[in-house]
Homo-oligomer: A and B are copies of this chain.
């Protein structure tokens, strides 16, 4: 059997990197040749987890068809979030926890999506289904993914399954969830060295919603007000992004990981859809969304509905 590359979405987050590494490990144990790769720079949170558990950063790739004929997607399925030449290879499997959209295959495949908070929670099941033990470092990465995606279990995307998986993995990884988890989230919320453009784009994902193309960036922080001091610069950067990427809307989500609320800053021709989706009035292109922390569950469906 030929080699398979395993990767998550562009602008990788901790779940994307951890799931690629973990699933590649599982595949190797099942005697399938697989390599975890990434489509972009790792963020500080992910770097913290990789270093903590002494794991190498996966190799970065821009294209895949030049080296393999088949791939496995983790933590995403929408083509515009994936590698640029995805249409030139066979998608053998998908392991994901998002909606399914702009995804299509010619042939049957293994597709495992579950409405849980984190891809690593599904992978935890797959290790069990294949009777493969999870090594300490891999368990640590998988735990990091769950902590990251669930904001330490506070996100509405978090399910009981995520919490039990995290507990099992923390036991194997020999860390205290609360102590390690807060350290991890704080490492990710350190935005001090980021340019305005970095802030907008380091976690941005593009979506097709109806006939519109929408990009949504999100940052976690303990001090949203400090970020908003740069509002004018952020707005300029969004305006430029709207033009270069031919977007109908850009939504920048600033999430306070202490209060679990978000402030959004949004620009674009479809700005009205934001007011409609979240029942808010934008003031100077900004609105507060109390209790909103999840792009997947509390932003994308509502905006998709408004734009469809």
Q: Name A residues whose Cβ lies closer than 8 Å to a Cβ of B.
A: 97-115, 129, 296-297, 300-301, 304-305, 308
Contacts and interface: CB of A to CB of B under 8 A. Distances in A.
B99 A107 contact: yes
Contacts of A109: 99-100, 113, 115
Nearest to A113: B111
Contacts of A115: 107-110
Copies held by the complex: 2
Sorted nearest first, the 3 A-B pairs with minimum C-beta distance are: A111-B113, A108-B115, A106-B301
Contacts of A129: 129
A108 B304 contact: no
A105 to B, nearest CB: 5
A268 to B, nearest CB: 20
B102 A108 contact: no
Contact of A106 (B106, B112, B113, B305): B305
Task: Specify which of A98, A100, A104, A308 lies most central, judged by the most chain B CB atoms within 10 Å of its CB.
Answer: A100
A110 B68 CA distance: 29
Given A109-B113, A110-B115, A114-B110, A102 B104 contact: yes
